[in-house]
Amino acid sequence: MNAPMTTMTIDTPFYEAAGNEIEVFEQAWKNRLPLLIKGPTGVGKTRFVAHMAARLGLPLYTVACHDDLTAADLVGRHLLGDGQTVWCDGPLTRAVREGGICYLDEVVEARRDTTVVIHPLADDRRVLPIDRTGELLHAPDRFMLVMSYNPGYQNFLKGLKPSTRQRFVSLRFDFPSAAREESILLGEAACDPLLARQLVSIAQRLRSLKDVDLEEVVSTRLLVYAAKLVKVGLDPVEACRSALVESLTDDVEVAEALLEVVKATFGR
């Protein structure tokens, strides 16, 4: 199975900085250090990497990690074509050859054998052995390995081993402050400032609920979705029902409790 992969060389995507993460990323890249980004779903980890790749003028290979992702999906494999067997580079190999960023999104979802490939690239060796072709690729200065994961989903079977984690410079992402989250909504959805304040207020109230059982709380990404739906004419309560409430839970009673918060915010 091939790794889900995208290459991005576009204009710099919008990103609202929270602190010194841009400087940390730039210095890690300049000093040839791998970077680990950890934080909950939908707080901008992937957008931040795309922003930095465009900012630095680097090609970006993003791999959405999953249970069936293997080392071969990252490095490459021999494929049969036109009656002959040819080698096809995987996204990690292409990033090394080209001198770009390879971003492993939610890396703990991948199979454990992927760390065998990652380790030589994540220390001072910066090499990628390709056993099937006998190559030993030395990563150029422009290459950078970036990984992300959500510590909230960590468990014994799907944790990041210390031997892997300690090879990386790390950044912790969290939900933005109210002012920053409003700014993000204005930048991403170009919505009315009042709507931005209302949506952020809803998010803060939902995140503070103690008696509602949710696997994940509302993310900034979902707020952007809601703002975009309202902007094109959908009723705000219905937009929040679709973009926030139904995305957070399948439980009818829990959904009704969340919707009450939404209705109260919009005076319904």
**What would the pLDDT profile of 236-245 be if each residue is shown by its tens digit?**
999 999 999 9
Between 75-89, 148-162, 183-197, 247-261, the lowest mean confidence (pLDDT) is in 148-162
Q: Is 252 exposed, middle or buried (0-12, 13-18, 19+ CB in 10 A)?
A: exposed
Local confidence band at 161 (pLDDT 50, 70, 90 cut-offs): confident
Tokens standing for residue 18: 């929270």
Summarised one tens digit per residue, pLDDT across range 118-148 is 999 999 999 999 988 999 999 999 999 999 9
pLDDT, residue 9, reads 44
* Span 101-115, average pLDDT: 88
Question: Chain-wide mean pLDDT for the chain?
Answer: 90
Give me the pLDDT at residue 8, please.
Answer: 43
Cβ count within 10 A of residue 170 = 14
Distances (CA, A) of 159 to 111, 131, 163: 11, 27, 11
Residue of 116 and 205 predicted with greater confidence: 205
